[in-house]
Amino acid sequence: MTLSARGLDETEHQLTRKGREMTVRVHEFHAGRDSGTLLVFGEIADGCLVRIHSRCLYGDALASDDCDCGPELDLAMDQIQNEGAGVLLYLEQEGRGAGLTAKARGLRASELTGDDTFTSYAQLGLPADSRDYGPGVTQLVQLGLTRIRLLTNNPEKAEAVRAAGIHVVVLPLATRARSARARSYLDAKRQHRKHWFAADAGPWAPTLASPESTLVMPVLPDDSGWSEPAEEPRKRRRLR
């Protein structure tokens, strides 16, 4: 472990989550909007579970039903807690790196036009996704990890880890859309950014070309969760 073991050990404390305690150590790193916090749970080793998570105030803190961010983080932490060890990289990359204000503008534009937020970002002159996972992945390298199981649906996160020389087994997270907006956003991420989803057989179902990566698809739980009610198609309005 090349990341200061002493610095990590000085932050070690107990965290109670869902009625169970686990040991956590933390390290903050600074890289502009790609800054974040490294949280090490339990005693990690090569092959441990890792979640790289970009901040989503609405989903993570306000429990919004309009995206899968909160459920993915919760499911990832459940798996880390069940194993007794793992790493969470929590990155300050709100709004796919654009920030909360830009994200809000994109959401408003989508409501006015009916377009997804990737299209709305383009109309507003914003990049579809400006996140750089390099600074976060560097923390994994400094922990001395050479193999990880990555809890993600995002192929760009897997590629960033692989590019750093770490062997990746990708474990996509199977969550259910909890609203019509959430389902539309999942479809948009699949179409525009090639995200993986359980039982994904769509035309953009992705693959991993790199021999340094392995993809293990999960199975969705039997409960169907939210289902969309029948509704009138929304009229598109001109974006002003």
104 occurs within a structural domain: no
CATH number at residue 163: 3.40.50.10990
Is residue 33 helix, strand or coil?
strand
58 occurs within a structural domain: yes
- Per-residue pLDDT of 35-58, as tens digits, reads 999 999 999 999 999 999 999 999
204 occurs within a structural domain: no
Q: What is the pLDDT of residue 208?
A: 47
Q: What is the pLDDT of residue 209?
A: 44
Q: What is the pLDDT of residue 227?
A: 39
Q: State phi, psi for 170 to the nearest 5 degrees.
A: -90, 125
**Are the beta carbons of 53 and 87 closer than 8 angstroms?**
no
Q: What is the pLDDT of residue 6?
A: 59
Known active-site residue 131:
yes
Q: Which residues pair with 2 in a beta bridge?
A: none
| Residue tagged active-site, from 131, 162, 178, 190 | 131
Strands (E), 116-233: 147-151, 167-171, 213-215
Q: What is the pLDDT of residue 183?
A: 85
Q: What is the pLDDT of residue 184?
A: 85
Number of domains in the chain: 1
25 occurs within a structural domain: yes
| Whether the predicted pLDDT of 124 surpasses 50 | yes
Q: What is the pLDDT of residue 187?
A: 84
151 occurs within a structural domain: yes
| Residue tagged active-site, from 34, 68, 115, 129 | 129
Known active-site residue 129:
yes
What band does 213 get if pLDDT is binned at 50, 70 and 90?
low
38 occurs within a structural domain: yes
The distance of Cα 96 from the centroid of its chain, to the nearest Å, equals: 10
212 occurs within a structural domain: no
What band does 61 get if pLDDT is binned at 50, 70 and 90?
very high
Mean pLDDT taken over the chain: 84
For range 183-204, the mean pLDDT: 69
106 occurs within a structural domain: no
Percent of the chain with pLDDT over 90: 64
The residues, any chain, with a CB within 8 Å of residue 155's CB and separated by 6 or more, are 170, 193, 194, 195, 196, 206, 208
What band does 3 get if pLDDT is binned at 50, 70 and 90?
low
Q: What is the pLDDT of residue 93?
A: 96
Range of the domain at 87: 9-93+131-193
Q: What is the pLDDT of residue 98?
A: 96
